[in-house]
Amino acid sequence: MMVLPDDHTLTEDGLSLQQPEGRILLIACGALAREILALKAANGWAHMDLHCLPAKLHLWPDRIPDAVEDAVTRLGAGYARIFVVYADCGTGGLLQARCDALGVQMVRGPHCYAFFDGVDDFTARAEDEMTAFYLTDFLVRQFDAFVWKPMGLDRHPELRDMLFGNYERLIYQAQTDDPELDRKARDCAARLGLAYERRFTGYGELATALRALA
């Protein structure tokens, strides 16, 4: 069964309880749901089921390992393999340690910006991009909900220079060629007072990891 972002449960008839052989459960960040569903559809990965945890867990990364463990415990019995579609995502290595303890694999890298870009390429550019603020397709669509409002910029616009004064540019890592998202990303850069750069990454190592799993 394919589960949409922020859905906390899988329905009973959606679980692969009867035929676990060969079936794979993807436990993923809700921010990656659209991209994973697109990859599943394009590659015919019908043996992969997707369960998404709320994307807003990124506001409290210390909660991610427990949420992942809960999903593995509740849902894992119906599957031959489980793959956690998170990078470290601010957990300071705790998510990797939890996945190791649970015996499940996860995407490599510090965060989705790195695996979309390619972890090695992102790391090689890190020093030159220390003053860059990144957005993905998801974050462009959800800019107000995940950046503008949580940082209080909707209520206190004067905080912008305090929060983003050390940034110089906004880099939009585009997973798709979408002129409307490009327009929105330019607007995000303007609202933050940053120079704008678009970098097409496609699905990067997310696609590589899922192909290897499949």
For 64-117, the pLDDT digits (tens) are 999 999 999 999 998 999 999 999 999 999 999 999 999 999 999 999 999 999
Dihedral sign from CA coordinates of 150, 155, 159, 164: positive
Fold of 12-107: Rossmann fold (3.40.50)
Mean of pLDDT over the chain:
91
Q: Name the DSSP class of 116.
A: H
- Show me where the domains of the chain are located: 12-107, 113-200
Q: How far apart are CA 178 and CA 140, in angstroms?
A: 11
Q: At residue 20, what is the residue type?
A: P
Q: Return the pLDDT at 7.
A: 36
Look-up of token digits 């305090």: 162
Instruction: Tell me what the mean pLDDT of segment 157-171 comes to.
Output: 96
Residues 6+ away with beta carbon under 8 Å from 101: none
Cα R_g (the chain), whole angstroms: 18
Dihedral sign from CA coordinates of 154, 155, 160, 163: negative
The model scores a pTM over 0.85: yes
How is residue 10 written in tokens?
């899988």
The better pLDDT of the pair 63, 14 is held by 63
Give the β-pairing of 81-85 and 24-29: parallel
Instruction: Tell me what the mean pLDDT of segment 33-38 comes to.
Output: 98
